[in-house]
A and B are shown apart, each in its own frame.
Chain A
């Protein structure tokens, strides 16, 4: 199942992806003509930003991803080890092996892994070592969940807020705002912005009507807990009531009641710290991977968790479908995307323990192993390890950031975009590659949370440029939290039928 072979070939050098229109990715050659061309197709999206690295050259590159030394062990399995059966997994015991041997070796493996998981929780700092990935001036990026403004964290630890409706761009600086790793706006709020810093979480209250360009540090709440540093990821609950923060050096996930500035540490044995957090859009689950080959999915009703040991490596990235029922994730060292389906409906009556209803194993939905494309400029190899995933809020486009190889010229980092459908069955279809300028590699990407005309992917490039790539389409289903009263037009069928035979993944209805 080599999915990338079905993709259209990547663009030649100098060409950049502009937008998707009429089921086609449009490209342009010159960066200068880009706004014009976009404007000619659709007038709505022509935001663009450019951060010059030269201005920030004297800042040290301090934060990046993690390297981590763990031997890959086995399968995707949920909590209990001895039953080593997995429908889609890479490894399974051949039938010739006696059953007792397989069971005993499985138990030994489980025991080994259990013991090794203690290693991570006792010495979380040993499993994580930093390497300098972020050569990008933009450290973090966040769209406001309801409006068109966004916050950008720069290498010098300042945060700028851009709002197309206002002339001022407030710059947030704070004494404690060091090595910013993530920013996120509070949902259902106009002003609150959470910032993950070295030693604390800052919650800025930036009055949208204020004309001040430098809000005072009195506008920021400081949330800190001893031993909880460096904070590298934060996630607001979609209802805006709670904030979760995590650190790869701390085994506990902190759930903050921001107004009261109190926190509840959620601690479980095993795995070490928590590398990132992702709250499902319906608010029912939180994904919390650890630096070892284990990730947890917290259920937010009673805050219990499911343990998911991985086959190889740690969980690299994950994203939730808009209805919160499906989790896509990738694993370090593998080139596939896995999916987990959470069948227990959010808010089912009573208290669901998740042990009986939850999924038993992850399914592979896409294989992004290396594929070479013949282009005019020679072969280009695309594919490999996956850096991050992003799913648009309507559940129609899935962007996959492929790491590539920074040393090899013919293996660029690239964003592959899939068309997805979640209803009635989960489907993946190829859409195309999003490319930037010749030397620029994509670093961060995020979909606009409330783009009216389809999906808007914002990409932060290594060159310091931030571009917005709109995908214009008519939504197939009624948007989940959509508010436009008029019924939506049916999706144009002509291209779908052409692509129907290229479907990459279709869930089988059992």
Chain B
């Protein structure tokens, strides 16, 4: 109750105003952009001065002002959709079918149709401003028999449909490229400078994207153009002028001036929308200064330690963590407040809350990595057994247990144990809201069936419910055999599930019917797995699961930075020694995470770099977050070891951790 109220506070007071400011700027930028568009669209080389004077008279006409008002409405709508659909954690589709699901989601359908309509409106405005043959939808024409009718102006129609097509493809590409993902920059700049810096990119993006869209549109119109044409004619009671070439023919479409106008209109449309998106991103990701502590109790919920622990909204948590990372780095006075003691009582509440939240974030990531590794590593082991390659990374226990599982599969009952590890990170939503991107693994029908069956019920019986776990504990549990979509993709088929199921009948006999159904299901699955299209749709995209695992790692990066800078500063600034008490747990948490990350990077596809995408407005930073996290984690540990040096020997920790830490002290990792 309290937290929802508080989230309302932040959304209401900060995010909405930022969005409003960004939309206002986008609206202010609209007239100059429109002017440039008008000049570019009507420019003729032969009469430059005439063009310019014509443009001026056009821009001051009533029609232009009306279309400008319409465009403002579109910008407002786009800005509103940006605010409605933005996310700080990208949704990463792990397979083609998941992507398809995203595209066909009702929410996305609303978005697409809204963009379609807005595209038509913008295209109408373009048609009116370009004028000439594009201006109206109907014109009087005389038939061969001498009677006059209203005929359909196909040039107008083609422009309107182009707008709809570009708007639709913009919305689809938005899903594919995660265009609604808002990323935070490591380099802080003022808003104006950032805008200025990204402007050339936006121009380039919109021009190239418009080019591609127009190319696709022309092809589509060539084949399917007659449908909307006939429909419009029918509904508006217009006639087709048979004396003019139809546009959905090769000769009609090879009109350079038409293509240029289509392209410049699409560029204008995309540019205004991209500008709105860019401004929104810049405004929303601006640093927000949370007070570390407040002397007024009614403002206590707005303070950094309190805000950090909030789960919702995500943007609030991200901005709080960003603020923490920056204050720990740049602001001694605010650091001092973090290290301070509470006035009556003398407890370091601020530091405790901050460090606890950062540690729980890191522990959560560790858990996720370990769980993921456990589900994937079995497949890797199955492969490595056949190829004979050695896997040093996982501890011996897991290797032996894995082989054991392969040799003598356990009855279904025992399979619960490892699943519980997996399940907690999925079902444990309330404890770990950040794990959402992990779920796509389960959506795949080729995920282990037992896993999916067991995710729901076991959560409560899990002995580690809601506690921070070291992976050593988790690794001791017996491993589960699971069907690998990965290995199928790699062309090495795993042993047939049916053959695994048969020994089960000898060891324990659950209901025969269930067994039979299970076998059937596996057979059907196996049958389907051989069909190319199905495999294409259901195959996991390489490294997508890895990306999904680290989708929210920006939060972890800030947590690591914030806490390591605070510890570095505490060496000289912490008067009461509040940091020292937490140092062993922080170090061990970081070392455990370091180990988990190292293991993760030894998986196939995890360390492969994503391809540099060409110009697109989608922010590709989420693809490299895992590398950023790895680098930040190492730097954070080195920052602590360099600052404390030999004093670390006095910190209590396990022998294994001490050994790993020693490597960092000697700069050998």
Contacts and interface: CB of A to CB of B under 8 A. Distances in A.
Interface stretch (A122-130, A299-307, A373-381): A299-307
Interface string B182-221: 0001111110010001000000000000000000000000
A101 interface: no
Contact of B634 (A189, A239, A265, A266): A189
B186 A241 contact: yes
A255 to B, nearest CB: 5
A259 B189 contact: no
Contacts of B334: 349
Contacts of B644: 483
A376 B341 CA distance: 69
Contact of A241 (B185, B612, B635): B635
Interface stretch (B136-144, B146-154, B325-333, B402-410): B325-333
Contacts of B193: 303-304
A258 B638 CA distance: 17
B301 interface: no
Interface string A264-299: 111100000000000000000000000000000000
B645 interface: yes
A302 B190 contact: yes
A42 interface: no
A259 B638 CA distance: 17
A260 B628 contact: yes
A347 B647 contact: no
Most interface-central of A146, A241, A266, A346 (chain B CB within 10 A): A241
A51 B627 CA distance: 37
A28 interface: no
Interface in A230-253: 239-242
Contacts of A209: 668
A264 B197 contact: yes
Given A259-B631, A265-B197, A483-B646, A349 B331 contact: yes
A189 B331 CA distance: 24
B624 interface: yes
Interface string A476-510: 00000101010000000000000000000000000
B605 interface: no
B667 A147 contact: yes
B189 A302 contact: yes
A265 B193 CA distance: 11
A189 B630 CA distance: 12
Nearest to A265: B197
B33 to A, nearest CB: 22
Most interface-central of A190, A208, A267 (chain B CB within 10 A): A190
A188 interface: yes
Nearest to B196: A267
Given A188-B642, A259-B624, A260-B628, A302 B188 contact: yes
B623 to A, nearest CB: 8
B667 A485 contact: no
A104 B17 CA distance: 47
A348 to B, nearest CB: 8
B590 to A, nearest CB: 14
Contacts of B627: 259-260
A257 interface: yes
B3 interface: no
B111 interface: no
Nearest to B186: A257
Contacts of B609: 261
Contacts of B668: 190, 208-209
A303 B193 CA distance: 9
Contacts of A242: 186-187
Contact of A257 (B187, B188, B561, B635): B187
B631 A258 contact: yes
Interface in B606-631: 609, 612, 620-621, 624-625, 627-628, 630-631
Nearest to B621: A260
Contacts of B635: 188-189, 239-241
Contacts of B255: none
B530 to A, nearest CB: 35
Size bin of chain A's contact surface: 20 to 34
A216 interface: no
Contacts of A258: 631
A181 to B, nearest CB: 23
A190 B669 contact: yes
A153 B190 CA distance: 38
Nearest to A192: B631
Nearest to A190: B667
A483 B333 CA distance: 24
Interface in A134-190: 144, 146-147, 188-190
A239 to B, nearest CB: 7
A481 B571 CA distance: 10
Contacts of B311: none
A484 to B, nearest CB: 8
A262 interface: yes
Interface string A180-223: 00000000111000000000000000001100000000000000
Contacts of A262: 620-621, 624
A296 to B, nearest CB: 14
A267 B631 CA distance: 27
B229 interface: no
Given A209-B668, A259-B627, A264-B197, A189 B329 contact: no
Nearest to B664: A190
B658 interface: no
Contact of A239 (B189, B329, B624, B628): B329
Given A146-B642, A240-B635, A303-B193, A255 B187 contact: yes
Nearest to A166: B668
Contacts of B645: 483
A485 B646 contact: yes
Contacts of A261: 609, 612, 624
Nearest to B640: A188
Contacts of B188: 301-303
Contacts of A347: 329-332
Top 10 closest A-B pairs, CB basis?
Answer: A259-B628, A483-B645, A347-B330, A188-B638, A190-B667, A260-B624, A259-B627, A259-B631, A264-B187, A188-B635
13 contacts: A144-B667, A188-B634, A188-B635, A188-B638, A188-B642, A189-B631, A239-B639, A241-B632, A259-B624, A259-B632, A304-B190, A349-B333, A483-B643
Given A146-B667, A257-B186, 17 more contacts: A188-B642, A190-B668, A209-B668, A240-B638, A241-B635, A242-B187, A260-B621, A260-B624, A260-B627, A261-B624, A264-B185, A264-B189, A303-B187, A304-B190, A347-B329, A349-B331, A483-B642
Interface of A: 144, 146-147, 188-190, 208-209, 239-242, 255, 257-262, 264-267, 301-304, 346-347, 349, 481, 483, 485
